[in-house]
Amino acid sequence: MKITSSFISKTFKSFFVVSIVLSMGYNDRAIAQDGEKLFQQNCASCHKPDKDMTGPALKGARQRWIDNSSEENMYNWVRNSAAVIASGDSYANSLFSKWNKASMTAQNLTNEQIDAVLEYVEAYTPPVAVQPTENVAEVGTEESSSWFWWVIGGLMIVVIFTVGGIKGQLNNISREQDGQQVLPQESITGSFRRWAWDNRGFVGVSSFILMIILLVAGMLDLMEIGVYENYKPEQPIAYSHELHAGKLGIDCKYCHSSVTKSKHAGIPSVNVCMNCHKAVSEGTTTGTAEIQKIYDAAGFDPTTMTYSGVEKPIKWVKVHNLPDHVYFNHSQHVVVGGLDCQACHGNMRKETVARIMTSADLNAVGTTEADKTAGLQENAVKFTRPTLTMGWCIECHNNSKIDIAGAAQNNPDSYYGVIHERLLMDKRTYQSYLEDDVVTVAELGGLECAKCHY
Ligand code: HEC
Ligand code: HEC
Ligand code: HEC
Ligand code: HEC
Ligand code: HEC
Ligand code: HEC
């Protein structure tokens, strides 16, 4: 086809129209997403779109203000409800007394942002309630397919012997007709032995190959011992990291608060959950069932809002568990080493229940578009060894670069800060470490057996 100027202008025009349409769609989606995010971040602790909680259901709120007061007052209310109440607005005052004078915290949002939240709320449809899913690691599919091959193999053997038997009988019938002597009926093992002897070469080579396969499979199985990647036990409460650390954006250290101070990261006590769940008694996917378990553990009665004083701790199942002969310290890695949780635990913001990440998971963090928009960066070290094995620790110690000066400055008086400072003073050793421009954990003694083994 000849490319004429009219063709170009036509293509250009349609491209223009298409991109405008696309960008309109895109904008709509961006607003809807913003609305949801703003709602989750600022309002979800007290409001639900469609049900009353600490505050009223927000669906229809705009219309209620238009009918009873004004839209302008609604915007003002969200930014500073106390001021609207003080101004004497009758709807605001009736609302306030209806909700037991619980005051709404002032929300620092623009009209556009409030519009986005309310748009999200109006469009909200509750998801269908689902039972918490079985959190067992994905086995099964592989096993069932290997079963399939075993059955097929068994059937083949039966077919071969049946065909062999029929052949023998046909042979005898024709011998009888020819007046020859009928051969004695051979036993199955006997006929197999004869067949194997007749095909010695083939049988020899194939049993040799079979032996090798079994040996290699056995060795690979042995190497899997002590590798726990993807382990994901079922937990007593359907707590979700995706919801709390992801959507609600709660900092890991809010719940795993000892991670910067001690060897252990720690699992939060029920009191930490109650900081929010005293007010939040219902979840979007599990309703009241799962959160009731928190109340049972805390000895809390949500109808009277009182504690009975009888607590029974939640029995979380430990996911990560290094053997007793290994010493691992969180604060050493998070504070001194300056590592983010994602370096070893991957993107927990996408997980429901915690699981042991595979090294592929760790390598994939920050490589997808979704991760990049969420601000996740790629991990500095790419792994080839399974996580939580000794090879994994060593691989990272061999390849992590340490900013000695920075670390010494950040933790001046700590045990490691002092070690780093001493190294900075010892110019000769420091320079020898720096020959390849980087100081690795290995150079600081991170490969010494006694550092990791008691
Ligand atoms: C700390 C809890 C809390 C937070 C957070 C909160 N609200 Fe409220 N909100 C309330 C309470 C309680 C009321 C009921 C009136 C009262 O007692 O002050 C209310 C009332 C309202 C009303 C009036 C509803 C009606 O039926 O007319 C609107 C609109 C509203 N909130 C919007 C928001 C928005 C939007 C956000 C987030 C940007 C938000 N609120 C965050 C507690 C909260
Ligand atoms: C609202 C509290 C809360 C927040 C926020 C939170 N967690 Fe957790 N975390 C828990 C609870 C409860 C468990 C135990 C249940 C489980 O294993 O899923 C847990 C378990 C874990 C485990 C496994 C523990 C084990 O037994 O080995 C890891 C790893 C973990 N969290 C990492 C993170 C990271 C990384 C973040 C931040 C992105 C984070 N958590 C944010 C509450 C929280
Ligand atoms: C900083 C506040 C905060 C903390 C701390 C917190 N939660 Fe939540 N949690 C929420 C909010 C808000 C929701 C409701 C989200 C929704 O609409 O589903 C929720 C929902 C839930 C749900 C229901 C999920 C669903 O969709 O059905 C469970 C179960 C839950 N939380 C367990 C826990 C446990 C266990 C802890 C303590 C380890 C905890 N939460 C700590 C804020 C918190
Ligand atoms: C250098 C790798 C590394 C980093 C970085 C790291 N962890 Fe861990 N984490 C581990 C290992 C290894 C274990 C298993 C420890 C054990 O079994 O003794 C673990 C266990 C845990 C546990 C189970 C409870 C415990 O204390 O043993 C939680 C919870 C946890 N990590 C949360 C976090 C959080 C939150 C961060 C970020 C602030 C983080 N981790 C950073 C490697 C790491
Ligand atoms: C993601 C990388 C990474 C992984 C994985 C990792 N480490 Fe480390 N480790 C570091 C860094 C970085 C430091 C250096 C802290 C500093 O500046 O002294 C360190 C330091 C240490 C030290 C102190 C070394 C010294 O010189 O005193 C010990 C002990 C240690 N790690 C044990 C472990 C064990 C055990 C594992 C495996 C279960 C492990 N580490 C996995 C990055 C890692
Ligand atoms: C950076 C930390 C680290 C250093 C340094 C280290 N190990 Fe280990 N080692 C581990 C971890 C973690 C395990 C547990 C692996 C597992 O459970 O699969 C382990 C396991 C072992 C085991 C048990 C066998 C096994 O696979 O479970 C032996 C033996 C061992 N190490 C010997 C040594 C010797 C000898 C050295 C010094 C040359 C050394 N380790 C240095 C972290 C380390």
Summarised one tens digit per residue, pLDDT across range 116-132 is 999 999 888 877 655 54
This prediction has a pTM of 0.66
The C-alpha atoms of residue 275 and residue 317 are separated, in whole angstroms, by 22
Q: Whose CA is nearest to atom 38 of ligand 6?
A: 449
User: Tokens representing 105?
Assistant: 């915290």
User: Tokens representing 268?
Assistant: 């939060």
- Which residue from 38, 47, 281 has its CB within 8 A of the most atoms of ligand 1, so it is best to mutate? 47
Please report the atom of ligand 1 found closest to the CA of residue 57: 26
Instruction: Measure 319 CA to ligand 2 centroid, in angstroms.
Output: 10
Asked whether 242 and 250 are in contact (CB, 8 A), the reply is no
Summarised one tens digit per residue, pLDDT across range 239-256 is 999 999 988 889 999 999
Instruction: Measure 450 CA to ligand 6 centroid, in angstroms.
Output: 10
Instruction: Measure 283 CA to ligand 3 centroid, in angstroms.
Output: 7
Please report the atom of ligand 6 found closest to the CA of residue 388: 12
In this prediction, residue 144 has a pLDDT band, given cuts at 50, 70 and 90, of very low
User: Tokens representing 240?
Assistant: 């979700």
Instruction: Measure 53 CA to ligand 3 centroid, in angstroms.
Output: 14
User: Tokens representing 401?
Assistant: 């670069």
Please report the atom of ligand 1 found closest to the CA of residue 65: 27
* Mean pLDDT of the chain, nearest integer: 81
Q: Closest Cα partner for 188 from 168, 174, 205?
A: 168
Q: Closest Cα partner for 61 from 115, 127, 125, 126?
A: 115
Instruction: Measure 381 CA to ligand 1 centroid, in angstroms.
Output: 46
The C-alpha atoms of residue 61 and residue 35 are separated, in whole angstroms, by 15
Instruction: Measure 165 CA to ligand 2 centroid, in angstroms.
Output: 64
Q: Taking 50 as the threshold, does the pLDDT of residue 10 lie above it?
A: no
CB 256 less than 6 A from any atom of ligand 4: yes
| Domains (range + CATH), the chain | 20-123 (1.10.760.10), 149-213 (no CATH)
Higher pLDDT, 49 or 445: 49
Torsion of CA 332, 335, 339, 342, to 10 degrees: 100
Q: Taking 70 as the threshold, does the pLDDT of residue 226 lie above it?
A: no
In this prediction, residue 162 has a pLDDT band, given cuts at 50, 70 and 90, of confident
Ligand sitting nearest the alpha carbon of 235: 2
Residues 6+ apart with CB under 8 A from 215: none
Q: Closest Cα partner for 246 from 66, 374, 156?
A: 374
